[in-house]
A and B are shown apart, each in its own frame.
Chain A
Amino acid sequence: MKNTFRGGVHPISHKELTRDVPLRVLNAKGEMVFPLLQHIGKPAKPLVKKGDEVLAGQKIGEADGLISAHVISSCSGKVKAVEKRRVQNGQMVECIVVDNDGQYSRMEGIGVRQDISSLSKEEILRRIREAGIVGLGGAGFPTHVKLSPKNPDAIRYVIANGSECEPYLTGTDQLMRSQADSIAEGLSLMLRLFPNAEGVIVIEDNKPEAIEAMRKASAGNDKLSVLAAKAKYGQGGEKMLIETVAGINYPSSMLPAEVGCIVQNACTIYAIDRAVAYLEPLFTHTFTLTGDAVKTPGNFIVRDGMSFSELIEAAGGLKEGAVVKKAIVGGPIMGIAIPNLDVPIQKTSSGVALVTVDQSEVAASIMTSCLRCGRCTTVCPVGLLPQMLADAVQAGDLERYEKKLYGLECIQCGCCSYICPAKRPLTQTFMRTKAEILAQKRAAVGGKK
């Protein structure tokens, strides 16, 4: 095993703002909004209607079909409405709005330690599914689906992703420091699904405390190991983790499971442990509130459904006179900039950075022609040639983009745009072009039918 991957960039981490701030529980007041689509796949079907009473931990949305996830209420109170609301990615999504009574009365049985020594594989998967767990790294892929590959015996590595390579975010770091045992237990539970696999916890070497804690927690189990990876943005990507741990590169047409790997975020693994060993569904998660506009940046355990603006207020508000230019949810390189703060925090919101300077705006103002300096090529973790891809797009040669230059392999990690001294919008170009090519392909398939 080497301890890094090819490519990647070294942005200013800003983690010092919050890295040593312990997790603190934040409760919300007022209405809570639960989007029925917080995951990849089909939206959940609402199980409640206006006027119904709900409890914290209650399932209020039912997974619809195979690739979908339940939606869990994080508070107790009365359902105010089931209506379309704006969510963090800017879309209007059907949401269940609950009038929070502030009691947080829980469903019975939640949080009670279970005997997990003799659980069957099916039971483990069932509990994960019932808890509505999705990938908390940001993508939100339903976890029980990911844990059910065609051939579980072929899985060689279950990788716990504790790299947290995005700047600003420190929630996972704090969770690993404080809940190392639980994460190790969650990883062991997953290994029961894959008899031939070993568990590797990947943590960037800028988190020595977390590495230490996880090493201690996994010391008794020789199927678990901790890998201290070089701190570099991109490490948390699935492809890069697998390259780091297994030394394998695979194309976009393949799934990680097909090369014998399963990757789960450390926060997701914690949620798995809570779900399986404590029957506690996913309705709280770690969250980093940070940025130069925030008065007291910190790490929190937040309840899904509360709005960003309420969270910011509850956490101490903004610095005096600070004018927020941009609010970035989920890390400033691959995260989403939200147009206003009155949208609900959802399962995949790992943190928000409120910044007073919009670097994208600055970048656009100093953009020049491409210098052909080749920095984008050096940092691309997939081994693409962004500069040539951009030329192909400009020339309108999608054939060359796709076939000769493998443009569909782009994972939109943002490294090329980040590093470009000419400030070309490379990642954006590739996102658009990929969507265009895939739409054309779908149209061609549809036409044949």
Chain B
Amino acid sequence: MNQTLNISPVPHVRDRWTTMFIMRAVILSMLPATIVGIAINGFHAFLVAACSVVAAVLTELLFDRFAKKPDTWKDGSAVITGLMLALTLSPSVPLFLPILGSVFAILIVKCCFGGLGKNFVNPALAARCFLLISFGTLMTTYTVDGVSSATPVAMLMQGKAVNITKMFLGVPNDVIGSSTACMLLGGLVLWAMDIIHGEICFSVLISFTVFMGLFGGQGFDPKYLLAHICGGGVVMGAFFMASDYATSPVSKLGQMVYGIIIGVLGGLFRVKSGASDSFSYSIIIGNLFVPLIDMFIYPKPFAYTRKAIAMRSGEAGAKKSLKDSIPKPVVVLTVIALISGIALSGVYAMTKDTIEAQKRAAKAASYRSVLPDAASFEFDDAVEEALADLDGDIYGTNFGRAMIREVVIGKDDTGSIIGHAISVTSGDGFDGDITLSVGIDSNGTVTGISFTELNETPGMGMRAGEPAFKDQFSGKTVTQFILNKTGGSTAENEIDSVSGASTTSGAVVNAVNAALDFYYSVVKGAM
């Protein structure tokens, strides 16, 4: 036997688990949610997921080729990124979004920072935030049967009732991966297999729940808390995104601190910000804390802990004081987190009043502009009651997403009524909400409209604010206006559309019609 045998450093046997095995397990655990998402939302959702995954894998492949690196696309991590991104997208997004997002995630966030295990934030989430910032409306439009609607969390935050069971199982008016049940199932399997760290997932969930219980405004109402946990990707975030290896701390203690940062930020954003996508941001901010956590919190070898030293010097069972048992870094980080949290809320609280004051001033100015003869504005009790009944809901069925905000009575110096001003918001604007005031004199003649909120495309929708368009409403006594998209209107109740901005024009006309409808059905009766 003179053959030369292999030699190598120790160890000569290896565990069966490989990188690819772990990646496959993660992909499999996301499949139930993907399948349910496609089943609820239809073929387009499948296309979104497929485009996202294919784009992610292709990007990594091309990068490897271009950078002359070994092929890393086979390890499956690109598939995870692509799939994860798809699960955080609305099922109705145009297909270029998932493709663009995946390219961004893989190329910029992953490959440019060194590839697998080197990215500093979760690539899929970074891509999602990139898309949210760049394509706000497209990203936040959730269409059910051709009608766009708010996500359950958005509804929840407006104080509306939501169906928790549906949210748990998966809903159509949310992202593709909206099925909390499937996410929970996949996540728990990964945790049981010891692929993801329970320290992260559970500290995220627990701290988020506790925060919502303390500051959500509804106490520890299980229904309310469950609704919050089931919506807005909290479970997906906790099990699949916060737990991402590359962007979470090394030590168990660090992982808990990290999880708490994400949970608390997630709660803070949900309570204080209007965006239902806020969990993405809290995880990304959590990711950014990781190097700091890793710098401060890492365990000493067993032989160097206080307890081990005490054991060696014979003080068996040496008493641990509370101060000793909490490492200094934890205290420091907690203080940092608290201070930044308080600072954030402080800034919000300070600016909140200013923003509110500005909005009020703008509204008052618009009332004056539509009812220039009025000396004072007052509220009417009967009308207020009717408004309360509406509960901020979409008004009627014929006016798109128009909501009646406020009705004021304009009075002259002698105290006699000269007309009403009605503030209406339409959710059908091209780039966000449109809010306007409609002035109606005591004869039912429209005295004018004035915008308090108009964020349309400059040169197109924004031209609705120009006299050429908005003055068409003035001086007309009708019960309903009709939009004439071709222009050249002659009839009393016809309004020429702003050319190239029929969406905006339609929204405005609908809003004015809603105000008129409300005027004739409620306000007039109250007089």
Contact = CB atoms under 8 A, between A and B. Distances in A.
Interface of A: 6, 9, 11-12, 90, 167, 239, 243, 247-252, 254, 259, 309, 312, 324-328, 332-342, 355, 358-363, 366, 368-374, 377, 382-385, 387-388, 405-406, 409, 412, 414, 417-423, 425, 427-428, 431
Contacts of A385: 250-251, 298-299
Interface stretch (B7-15, B223-231, B360-368): B7-15
Contact of A332 (B13, B245, B308, B312): B13
A191 B380 CA distance: 99
Interface string B481-506: 00000000000000000000000000
A414 B8 CA distance: 13
Interface string B1-32: 11111111111111101111110000000000
A368 B12 CA distance: 18
B194 to A, nearest CB: 8
A338 B245 contact: no
Contact of A371 (B13, B116, B294, B311): B116
A427 B311 contact: no
Given A324-B3, A374-B245, A417-B14, A368 B19 contact: yes
A248 B75 contact: no
A370 B246 CA distance: 9
A324 B5 contact: yes
A321 to B, nearest CB: 14
Contact of A251 (B72, B75, B114, B304): B304
Contacts of B18: 366, 421-423
Contacts of A250: 303, 308, 312
Interface in B223-258: 245-246, 248, 250-251
B12 A406 contact: no
Nearest to B314: A260
B15 A360 contact: no
B302 interface: yes
B152 to A, nearest CB: 34
A428 B7 CA distance: 13
A363 B14 contact: yes
Contact of A414 (B10, B75, B302): B10
B300 interface: yes
B14 to A, nearest CB: 5
B118 interface: yes
Nearest to B19: A368
B117 A248 contact: no
A333 B302 contact: no
Contact of A383 (B3, B14, B301): B301
Contacts of A370: 117
B9 A340 contact: no
Given A248-B308, A414-B11, A368 B250 contact: no
Contact of A247 (B2, B197, B311): B311
Given A248-B308, A360-B8, 6 more contacts: A250-B303, A312-B1, A337-B6, A368-B75, A382-B302, A425-B9
Contacts, number: 180
A418 B294 CA distance: 24
A425 B248 CA distance: 23
Which DSSP category, helix, strand, loop or mixed, fits chain B's interface?
A: loop
Contact of B10 (A6, A340, A412): A412
Interface string B84-107: 000000000000000000000000
A406 B302 CA distance: 11
B5 A248 contact: no
Contacts of B6: 325-326, 337, 358, 360-361
B246 to A, nearest CB: 5
Contacts of A259: 312
A384 B7 CA distance: 27
B250 A333 contact: no
Given A248-B308, A370-B117, A372-B117, A383 B300 contact: yes
B303 A388 contact: no
A406 B298 CA distance: 12
B427 interface: no
Contacts of B115: 369
A422 B197 CA distance: 18
Task: Pick the most buried of A361, A371, A377, A387: most chain B CB atoms within 10 A of its CB.
Answer: A371
A427 B13 CA distance: 13
Given A369-B116, A406-B304, A421 B22 contact: yes
Contacts of A383: 299-303, 305
A337 B250 contact: no
A339 B7 contact: yes
B3 A340 contact: yes
A362 to B, nearest CB: 7
Contacts of B312: 248, 250, 254, 259
B10 A368 contact: no
Contacts of A252: 303
Contacts of B1: 309, 312, 324, 340-342
Contacts of A239: 303
Nearest to A333: B11
Task: Pick the most buried of B18, B22, B294: most chain A CB atoms within 10 A of its CB.
Answer: B18
Contacts of A338: 5, 7
Contacts of B304: 251, 406
Which 4 pairs show the lowest CB-CB distances between chains A and B?
Answer: A414-B11, A383-B302, A360-B8, A428-B9
Task: Pick the most buried of A339, A372, A427: most chain B CB atoms within 10 A of its CB.
Answer: A372
Contacts of B12: 326, 328, 332-333, 335, 337, 355, 358-360
B5 A325 contact: yes
A195 to B, nearest CB: 19
A405 B250 CA distance: 13
Contacts of B11: 332-334, 360, 414, 417-418, 427
